[in-house]
Chain A
């Protein structure tokens, strides 16, 4: 049995909040959370430190609302999907009729890594749709760039407003369509230099060696190893499922290592590839998902001359 605006809705009821003041945020979030608490629904907050504190002090003492650490949840999109899906599955198994969550991405996501967070916001319409979830994603319009707000409008079916309404988003675009588009990719300044290594049609072993060669201790060992795993998977995919030439370029930045893998093909057919483990046996889907889980940023681009993934280990350029 679902309550509130999502009553009667099947699956995921996904909303965005556009707020320009703390009062506006609280006007939406407090009734949303209290409504969940009153209905006995598991109710979660995954906001940043400041806004989370704001909400906490606006709630009555002892309100049955659980606070998650927003920063940890939103480290990587595929990781966020995985941990939210685990949380939702647990709540559903425990008999929840509806789960309520309000979340907010760290402002660092609105820069050069926005492309994969935009894909996240779109993909979750599908990834969480098997759960009776009502969630609100909060965006502070004072600090969120307009192009991010445009993507928010396209990836959320509706907005929750301060005066208690739930209005459809006119530019809402279903994920299967949105995820097939290219997102604008911000060039990493480290790529201004020629790559440290460039290989054409390398074996996976040669590709792994190229990544290790770019490791001068500027990136923690674990992250280098995870990048080695990721590059190996992506090159293996490109060799098996893509079209020649497969090209690997590796840049050694001051505090990061970047790798691009391109091939002449069209890339994975599954629009959710990377963000969700391939459930339909999409060739290479598991390797891309592992890559999304283990790199600090992955960009995805399909062009006339092929398909390219860029993988980052170490400190991601956030722009």
Chain B
């Protein structure tokens, strides 16, 4: 039951895409309020510390008061990510881990950031590295009191890039997104799949799995699929192949028995479906 609840509310890692900076400012204010109420430290991270969102936050009495006691800050993007805006996933996760520890040491309950990260994904190469990082940081968030809203400017990036980013988050405001892959607590397996997997997003699914770079343990790659409404034979076949390349059997935990029947029917080696209640 606890495990199920945790899956239903995967610790705050939101992909927020916006057209209008005002709507981002609204979200940032909302997160600030929630963060302060929860006793967290709050950062708004932006490439331009004087942008519209930063100015709106600074004008808030709550923000100003929190800033004076070290509970809130506008942090320039270069201070948290590398100056070239190319992320090294491991280094960046370590940086947020250190920042989370500092927040805890300073008496806060955790760290929450709203990060305007459009600059970091503006080329296909940057996008590829950053989506890999997104999954690594997602995994960190499942075990430590760190939460993030990653904000992306849709008109700058286009729908394809936005989709590739959004599907690596447990929560998003992107409409029509058919599936998501995100981290789970270690005892719940290696990752969760949610939504629907079919021909229309098969390439996206393959890309997401590659970027998540899942590492099996004890010869098994366990995927929690409580919120996966559908997957087709292509997705199952690919999961088996992905696990095989990593020397493991794919284990899919799903309440839907149709996946188990498909595996039997296709006599798919390398994948086991565990039908959960």
Contacts and interface: CB of A to CB of B under 8 A. Distances in A.
Interface stretch (B127-135, B157-165, B194-202, B212-220): B194-202
A232 B230 CA distance: 10
Interface string A208-241: 1000000000000010011011001100100010
A205 interface: yes
7 contacts: A205-B200, A225-B258, A226-B258, A228-B230, A229-B232, A233-B232, A236-B232
A225 B256 contact: yes
Nearest to A233: B232
Interface size class, chain B: 10 to 19
A235 to B, nearest CB: 10
A240 B178 contact: no
Contacts of B199: 204, 236, 240
Interface of B: 178, 196, 198-200, 229-230, 232-233, 256-258, 261-262, 265-266
Contacts of A236: 198-200, 232
Given A205-B178, A232-B232, A286-B233, A226 B261 contact: yes
A208 B196 contact: yes
Contacts, number: 46
A314 B33 CA distance: 52
Contacts of A229: 230, 232, 258, 262
A290 interface: yes
Contact of A225 (B178, B232, B257): B257
B261 A204 contact: no
B260 to A, nearest CB: 10
A203 interface: yes
Nearest to A224: B258
A155 B43 CA distance: 75
A207 to B, nearest CB: 10
A293 interface: yes
A226 B178 CA distance: 20
A262 to B, nearest CB: 19
Contacts of B229: 208
Contacts of B233: 233, 286-287, 290
A204 B200 contact: yes
Given A228-B230, A232-B230, A232-B232, A290 B265 contact: yes
Complex A-B, nearest 9 residue pairs according to Cβ-Cβ distance, in ascending order = A225-B258, A236-B199, A204-B198, A229-B258, A293-B265, A205-B196, A222-B257, A226-B258, A225-B256
A123 to B, nearest CB: 18
A275 to B, nearest CB: 14
A203 B198 CA distance: 10
A294 B230 contact: no
A203 B176 CA distance: 12
